[in-house]
Amino acid sequence: MLNIAMLGSGKGSNAQAIMDAIAAKKLDACIVCVIADVADAFILERARQHGAPAFFVDCAPFKTKLAGAAEQHVLEILRQHGTDVIALAGFMRIIKGGLLAAYPQRIINIHPALLPAFPGVESWKQALDYGTKVAGCTVHFVDAGTDTGPIIVQRVVPVLAGDTPEMLHARIQVQEHEAYPEALRLIASGRLQIKGRRVLQL
Q: Are residues 120 and 99 in the same domain?
A: no
Is the confidence at residue 191, as pLDDT, over 80?
no
Average pLDDT over the chain, rounded to an integer: 93
pLDDT value at position 202?
60
Among 84, 104, 124, the domain-final residue is 104
Q: In angstroms, rounded to a whole number, what is the distance separating the alpha carbons of residues 181 and 199?
A: 16
Q: In angstroms, rounded to a whole number, what is the distance separating the alpha carbons of residues 46 and 33?
A: 11
Q: Are residues 182 and 86 in the same domain?
A: no
Q: Are residues 68 and 114 in the same domain?
A: no
Q: Grade residue 85 by pLDDT with cuts at 50, 70 and 90.
A: very high
138: which residues sit within 8 A by CB, 6+ positions away?
110, 111, 113, 114, 115, 147, 151, 153, 154, 179
Q: Are residues 58 and 122 in the same domain?
A: no
Q: Grade residue 175 by pLDDT with cuts at 50, 70 and 90.
A: very high
DSSP-assigned beta bridge partners for residue 195: 198
Q: From the CB of residue 49, how many other CB atoms can be counted at a distance below 10 Å?
A: 11
Number of structural domains, the chain? 2
Q: Are residues 90 and 139 in the same domain?
A: no
Is the confidence at residue 176, as pLDDT, over 80?
yes
In eight-state DSSP terms, residue 144 is S
Which range marks the domain in which residue 154 is found? 110-202
169 catalytic per annotation = no
Is the confidence at residue 76, as pLDDT, over 90?
yes
Q: Are residues 72 and 118 in the same domain?
A: no
Instruction: Supply the CATH number for residue 65's domain.
Output: 3.40.50.170
Q: Are residues 100 and 114 in the same domain?
A: no
Cβ atoms of 31 and 47 within 8 Å: the answer is yes
> 135 exposed, middle or buried (CB, 10 Å; 0-12, 13-18, 19+)?
buried
Tens-place pLDDT, residues 116-128: 999 988 999 999 9
Among 104, 132, 164, the domain-final residue is 104
- Active-site residue, selected from the candidate residues 111, 140, 169, 177: 111
